[in-house]
Chain A
């Protein structure tokens, strides 16, 4: 049971980080569709920085930097040019995946995966006063919990949180009130880049210490699904993240119990669909 709980936390952490940033982007009216591509690029750059400098901190800096560049392209098109977020997001997602393979080939000369003895793992936090089932998580897990607390506070208690929602609901009114909406949207995407960077670094340099092509494995999309499930409400999004994290951990558990891996891997996707159907929302955002 402890193992299962820890696996669920491990699966849920990158989803949580991206879903929190994604919720803000949805609230301001420009849901970040490009999280999948950002995640895979961040995973690669975390490995690159870590490998070059033998430091996990540099790895995280690299990951955040590349996610920032990536999100700013998305921001330029969606906020400044007011292009369709789905077109831009899909193009950037496909480009991110192609770029990660291109970089893998050109920096390391390999096609499938890369690992190096130079790399240093993001440390786990060992706190002896914690009960054993809470102990030994990666540092990023605790960062994610802290981010959740900050986002939840800002979301419900601060003027900024209200302005973000106003940007999505009535941008003319907010503009008239003297708050530049474009600046809020850019700001939200900057914050989102930090979270995508952390999530990517977590994937490739926390429990696993290598980059594998396609290692993001739809996690960016699950985060987007959680955001759409929550429809701007933080609580529902976190609830979805927990469900998806548990489903992913459950899939691996089933695999260990002898269920064919392809079938076991289907579990989180089935749950995403069931979750969306039961909540029955997301109307009108696809057009």
Chain B
């Protein structure tokens, strides 16, 4: 009975155990800095959730991380290796900005959906290129997406310091987008804005799609065994392409919300690597959407509180990212050991 419960929740237990292990390991790193791990983690939580302002700030940090994690999960879960979400985020963010700068006179009711469509569409297009080359011509998708990452960021940066350079700002940013297409800030002290509702709707829809629809099942089949999926009558190419386009659109939404809700302009460094963090988080929970929601929330708390921790205990903020990377390694090791044990049991 008990054994059965463990078997059913095996994956979740491995992820949870690995997370605890990586936090403990992080404690060791913190101790190496001569700080008290309990105290440092305490400062971290305090800095992120200590009062309502801190909590709202953490919530604002959560939005791009959540979308980035989902962007990576959507692609990986469908068997597509989208390492290029960062470039897609940049292209999407710039596309939305471009709409705002080009059609400033349009009313908000037209401008907002137009900008969202441009942001999501531009990013999805940037994801379509490598997906097409991979699915139809067999080119290596990891290398392609990595190269398109750099191309996307460099191209948008070139546009931002060139023809679209802002007039009233320091170099590396465009002018502000019109008021009509801005998401209103919910509080005075944080970047939390009404864009969070769009993010939440997107996340809920994608979670439902991944867990409860036939398409979601097809994605998973294509990831687990492409040949078997084909044999089972699934149009593998179409299914994989849809996973990649969804991934691109989610990365684009992350970038678009940064422009329309937080920065109100495109900056050449608009993302401090959100999708790389999203990749760690997605890999850590084995691309499960609910896991992605939880992991990105935990990470938002850790990162939001990390500055406070660095201030109080001199432990650098990068510790957070390293702890999460260790989590991925532990999860991978956990799955490997569990699979080996399972096959040994079967042989007995």
Chain A, 196-227, CB within 8 A of any chain B CB: 218, 221, 224-225
On whether A86 and B139 interact (CB within 8 A), knowing A91-B329, A218-B146, the answer reads no
Contacts of A281 in B (CB 8 A): 138-140
**B115 interface contact, C-beta 8 A:** no
A99 lies within 8 A of B150 (CB): no
B138 lies within 8 A of A282 (CB): yes
Binds A, one of B49-57, B106-114, B196-204, B276-284: B276-284
On whether A262 and B155 interact (CB within 8 A), knowing A91-B325, A91-B328, A94-B325, the answer reads yes
**B263 interface contact, C-beta 8 A:** no
Chain B, 153-206, CB within 8 A of any chain A CB: 154-155, 157-158, 161-162
The count of chain A contact residues (Cβ–Cβ below 8 Å) is 45
The count of chain B contact residues (Cβ–Cβ below 8 Å) is 44
Residue of A nearest to B162 (CB): A260
| Cβ contacts A258-281/B at 8 Å (1 or 0 each) | 001011011001101100110011
**A134 interface contact, C-beta 8 A:** no
Contacts of B329 in A (CB 8 A): 73, 77, 88, 91
Residue of B nearest to A37 (CB): B325
The answer for the CA separation of A122 and B333 in the assembled complex, in Å, is: 39
| Cβ contacts B310-330/A at 8 Å (1 or 0 each) | 000000101101100110110
**A283 interface contact, C-beta 8 A:** yes
**B141 interface contact, C-beta 8 A:** yes
B321 lies within 8 A of A94 (CB): yes
**A284 interface contact, C-beta 8 A:** yes
B158 lies within 8 A of A221 (CB): no
A91 lies within 8 A of B283 (CB): yes
**A174 interface contact, C-beta 8 A:** no
**B290 interface contact, C-beta 8 A:** no
Binds B, one of A53-61, A101-109, A165-173: A101-109
The answer for the CA separation of A73 and B150 in the assembled complex, in Å, is: 27
State the majority secondary structure of interface residues on A: helix
The answer for the CA separation of A106 and B315 in the assembled complex, in Å, is: 9
A270 lies within 8 A of B138 (CB): no
A83 lies within 8 A of B318 (CB): no
A102 lies within 8 A of B162 (CB): no
| Cβ contacts B79-119/A at 8 Å (1 or 0 each) | 10101000000000000000000000000000000000000
B316 lies within 8 A of A286 (CB): no
B154 lies within 8 A of A285 (CB): no
The answer for the CA separation of A99 and B148 in the assembled complex, in Å, is: 25
Contacts of B138 in A (CB 8 A): 280-284
On whether A276 and B279 interact (CB within 8 A), knowing A83-B336, A91-B328, A106-B33, the answer reads no
B325 lies within 8 A of A95 (CB): yes
A77 lies within 8 A of B147 (CB): no
**Chain B residues proximal to chain A, CB less than 8 Å:** 33, 79, 81, 83, 133-134, 137-144, 146-148, 150-151, 154-155, 157-158, 161-162, 226, 276, 279-280, 283, 316, 318-319, 321-322, 325-326, 328-329, 332-333, 335-337
| Contacts A94-B325, A218-B146 supplied; 14 other A-B pairs, CB < 8 Å | A77-B336, A86-B81, A92-B325, A95-B322, A101-B316, A105-B318, A221-B147, A262-B161, A266-B151, A269-B148, A269-B151, A273-B144, A283-B139, A286-B140
Supply 27 A–B pairs (Cβ within 8 Å), ascending by A. A77-B329, A81-B336, A82-B336, A83-B335, A91-B283, A94-B280, A95-B321, A95-B325, A95-B326, A99-B322, A221-B146, A221-B147, A224-B142, A265-B150, A266-B154, A266-B155, A266-B158, A269-B151, A269-B154, A272-B143, A273-B147, A273-B151, A276-B133, A276-B144, A277-B133, A277-B137, A284-B138
Closest 9 CB pairs of A and B: A282-B140, A283-B138, A262-B158, A95-B325, A81-B336, A91-B328, A102-B318, A98-B321, A225-B143
